[in-house]
């Protein structure tokens, strides 16, 4: 599946309409971002059931600001509209694939219960 470019018009709908979305926050001037791009693309080809998307932080400053992106590249994984992973830094292919396996193995009912418990405490 081709990588989707996200912007303010399609970001929320993409997150809401797909079970799993992996977002790469990047910028054209960022050497680590450019280095990670082929890995992101290659892994996306192996995972057709997951939406792989990119946010150009230079062009989409509103989205980057909303998610408090301070370093790029930053990877963010959404499952069922919940952010389950967010970390800056490029990953080598095998580590990225392992991260996806772990994300897909999460029991989202347990995640939702943990969130509800934390909100009850707050």
Span 34-63, pLDDT tens digits? 999 999 999 999 999 999 999 999 999 999
* Per-residue pLDDT at 118: 87
d(CA 48, CA 32): 25
Tell me the whole-structure pTM to 2 decimals.
0.93
| CA neighbours closer than 13 Å in the CB half-sphere of residue 78 | 19
30 is catalytic: yes
48 is catalytic: no
Q: Which of 6, 15, 30, 51 is catalytic?
A: 30
| Length, in residues, of the chain | 122
pLDDT score of 84 more than 60: yes
Q: Which of 33, 75, 90, 100 is catalytic?
A: 33
């Amino acid at each position: 599946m081709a990588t989707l470019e996200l912007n303010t018009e399609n970001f929320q709908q993409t997150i809401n309409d797909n079970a799993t979305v992996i977002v790469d926050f990047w910028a054209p001037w960022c050497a680590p971002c450019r280095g990670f791009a082929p890995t992101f693309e290659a892994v996306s080809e192996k995972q057709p059931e997951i939406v792989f998307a990119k946010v150009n932080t230079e062009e989409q400053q509103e989205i980057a600001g909303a998610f408090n992106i301070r370093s790029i590249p930053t990877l963010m994984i959404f499952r069922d509209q919940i952010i389950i992973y967010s970390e800056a830094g490029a990953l080598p292919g095998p580590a990225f694939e392992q991260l996806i396996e772990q994300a897909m193995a999460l029991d989202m009912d347990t995640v939702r219960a943990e969130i509800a418990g934390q909100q009850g405490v707050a």
